[in-house]
Structure 1
């Protein structure tokens, strides 16, 4: 008996023996170790005893998902990474460095090779057995449908037993029944077969499209530019169409069967592997000391009615080798400048900010709003030394410090971009601050910041 015949007999027995590799090997007359090797390479794991393998939180996770809990929240409750939970939902199995997808693709993320099942008509055991999102009927529910339908129960009764609409049961029976008989396991295999089948990438085989993409990558075009240019250049040729993601997949994942590896050098990032992204909840904290965000800032700061609340930032010289601390008071628009002759580390910025704030009277030390620059890593020490709380803006939100951004623009008239800021002495900075504070401002009814600050000091 040939090797392939034995192997086929083993997998047929594996279906009959409910996934037990040992029982299937015995039924097919195959050595047990050989059978486990075949199963492992095919991405099939022996079912064994219930609860004997797999993650201990898998059952709880599936219960939470069936109850309508979001994937992220369910994963956090059972203590698994959200990516692992996504794999559970999609029926993906991890096999060493490879991942077996429910549609039969086996992707080796170490070598970049994608293996696709040779069978185009029969779904793999992994696809039939896949545990996907709870909205899909599983094999247990299909068995219940078959039993109750055979017993003459109504569609509504079956739906109530499964917690699903009667219309779902009707569509399932109408679509999967053969000669009026609903067979649950046949229906499960038919459902798995009807799912999207894997196909080779457009760029795997040599041809005009692949050569076009390779040529444009060598000219340093981005995948998105190639995607749109090919439509313009070949408007009537539907075979000359490719998405940016297909190009990235051919470079990063299908490197051995798609575009030649050296073409990846054309990507502007220079990376040979994709960079994983993280959700805000997964990102490392910006500073050791917890930030207090601008959303927690008192309401009186927002309307500028109460003086003494400041916005701060740095203006930086070329190659970030020199910098100046800039502070502006939100109510009066009064400006203070701090001298940073050497660098702008967190400790250096703290040592400039503390004496700068301490020159102010107590009632003008309300708060300080800053962006999330690393120069404010010592914000807790600054608060302890001055009693001034620091509030941080949201990422990429300069408008939350609008007054300070405006002042920084005005300062560039005195300190142009690209010039060395370390050549300016503290006296130079004081002179510039006095000029800005002596200018009439439209937002102050053509009064000056110096006059407004003087009024505050004399009123107390």
Structure 2
């Protein structure tokens, strides 16, 4: 221990015992009793009690307590004092961490972390858990804002700034710190600490211009949408793919289609794609103006109405806003529309494969509005006359002709 009891034991007079008081309250925070702390610091028990509780006269407080009393925790996300008392009691009974966590309705990691953070280490290396001292430590750590670790350590700050300048990512820097300084925990930070030092204004821990060295180049964090703040879907009254007839899933009966849009540069132009699940027959939908919901509905209805009635059984689409008018489309064509689950393109695997083939004719990043209806028909005819392995090397046009003849 660095603290040494003063050699001169006479009265100090007007001189304040600053070092003794600081050491006394540090020991109290560590869980020492008043008697133990007074013995270590070298003061009288009565002096320790006066420092802790304040010395009062009949009319006014002469010496207020130097240790501020922090309010007890009441939020459910934090351990309360009664829970810490329960932990201490059960630890004395040699209960396991998992048993204690189950009794409190907490995660075992919460209880384990609480014991590790707030336990008291004795002079001989043994540890014991004091609930009231643990509560005081937890309350003392909670106030915000706190000085950042990077701003308090110039060596750490210079290391991070140097490697950010070399365009290292924060995660790479953090792992390099642990490898280069394995025995110095003051040099260990997480990548989130580095990001906060860059993004949080007012800290001044890292130079703001270093944010340009990040791969994103952003000087502020991009917020992630929370589930409770998501915008309502543009497509209402959807019928999900789970309600689609079983005959569509096994491809036994023709007439079930999958559809989507392939979009051009800056999403300003698009072409509608329809592929029949059984025969892989392709039809392309001309969208010369835009791909808003009304225009997409009208163009799809015009294309589907050219099919015979026995080839108009269902249409499967993703949850794109271009199908917001799906109910009007169903009324106009008598074709029900089923929607895939979010982020599940494999539920329209045939259409996704067909879109990949179409990119040979309509590359990404090009203007698709320059293609006329005749151009689209020519591309569809070429695809439908191409032999397909999945059809036994028949073409989609041949397979469709056989089914219609049967």
Q: Shorter-chain TM-score: which interval? A: 0.5 to 0.7
Do structure 1's residue 421 and structure 2's residue 364 form an aligned pair?
Answer: no
Tell me the distance in 2 between the aligned counterparts of 1:301 and 1:315.
23
Q: SS of 2:319's equivalent? A: coil
The alpha-carbon deviation at position 138 of structure 1 amounts to 5.0
Of 241, 257, 261, which aligns to 1:314? 261
Q: SS of 1:328's equivalent? A: strand
**1:352-383: per-residue Cα shift (whole Å, max 9, x none)?**
11111111122222222222223223223222
Of 375, 380, 391, which aligns to 2:322? 375
Tell me the distance in 1 between the aligned counterparts of 2:84 and 2:237.
49
The alpha-carbon deviation at position 416 of structure 1 amounts to 2.7
Tell me the distance in 1 between the aligned counterparts of 2:130 and 2:159.
44
Instruction: Confirm or deny: 8 A CA contact 1:255 1:261 kept in the other structure.
Output: no
Instruction: Confirm or deny: 8 A CA contact 1:335 1:433 kept in the other structure.
Output: yes
Tell me the distance in 2 between the aligned counterparts of 1:325 and 1:247.
46
The alpha-carbon deviation at position 434 of structure 1 amounts to 1.2
Higher relative contact order (CA 8 A, sep 6+): 2
Tell me the distance in 2 between the aligned counterparts of 1:28 and 1:272.
56
The alpha-carbon deviation at position 220 of structure 1 amounts to 4.8
Do structure 1's residue 333 and structure 2's residue 276 form an aligned pair?
Answer: no
Match of 1:362 in 2: 309
1:29-428 equivalences under 5 Å are: 125-126=70-71, 128-132=72-76, 139=82, 164=103, 189-193=132-136, 195=138, 197=141, 200-218=147-165, 220-230=167-177, 234=180, 238=184, 240-253=187-200, 255-267=202-214, 268=216, 270=218, 272-279=220-227, 282-287=229-234, 289-428=236-375
The alpha-carbon deviation at position 340 of structure 1 amounts to 1.8
CA gap 1:140/1:435 in 2 versus in 1, 3 angstroms: closer
TM-score by length of 2: 0.64
State the superposition RMSD in angstroms: 4.0
User: Which structure 2 segments of 5+ residues have no match?
Assistant: 1-57, 94-101, 105-117, 120-128
CA gap 1:141/1:407 in 2 versus in 1, 3 angstroms: closer
**1:193-216: per-residue Cα shift (whole Å, max 9, x none)?**
464946753312242321232244
The alpha-carbon deviation at position 235 of structure 1 amounts to 6.5
User: Which structure 1 segments of 5+ residues have no match?
Assistant: 1-26, 31-118, 147-153, 155-162, 166-174, 177-185
Tell me the distance in 1 between the aligned counterparts of 2:233 and 2:213.
33
Instruction: Confirm or deny: 8 A CA contact 1:131 1:138 kept in the other structure.
Output: no
CA gap 1:218/1:140 in 2 versus in 1, 3 angstroms: closer
Aligned residue pairs, count: 310
CA gap 1:140/1:411 in 2 versus in 1, 3 angstroms: closer
Do structure 1's residue 457 and structure 2's residue 404 form an aligned pair?
Answer: yes
Tell me the distance in 2 between the aligned counterparts of 1:131 and 1:309.
55
**1:254-282: per-residue Cα shift (whole Å, max 9, x none)?**
74253244444545262535514313x65
CA gap 1:381/1:28 in 2 versus in 1, 3 angstroms: farther
CA gap 1:253/1:316 in 2 versus in 1, 3 angstroms: same
Tell me the distance in 1 between the aligned counterparts of 2:362 and 2:368.
7
The alpha-carbon deviation at position 28 of structure 1 amounts to 10
CA gap 1:237/1:383 in 2 versus in 1, 3 angstroms: farther
Tell me the distance in 2 between the aligned counterparts of 1:322 and 1:332.
28
The alpha-carbon deviation at position 402 of structure 1 amounts to 0.9
Tell me the distance in 1 between the aligned counterparts of 2:279 and 2:163.
55
The alpha-carbon deviation at position 349 of structure 1 amounts to 1.7
Tell me the distance in 2 between the aligned counterparts of 1:392 and 1:449.
25
TM-score by length of 1: 0.57
Instruction: Confirm or deny: 8 A CA contact 1:123 1:192 kept in the other structure.
Output: no
Tell me the distance in 1 between the aligned counterparts of 2:85 and 2:316.
60
Instruction: Confirm or deny: 8 A CA contact 2:74 2:80 kept in the other structure.
Output: no
Larger radius of gyration: 2
CA gap 1:433/1:28 in 2 versus in 1, 3 angstroms: farther
Tell me the distance in 1 between the aligned counterparts of 2:73 and 2:183.
40
CA gap 1:446/1:347 in 2 versus in 1, 3 angstroms: same
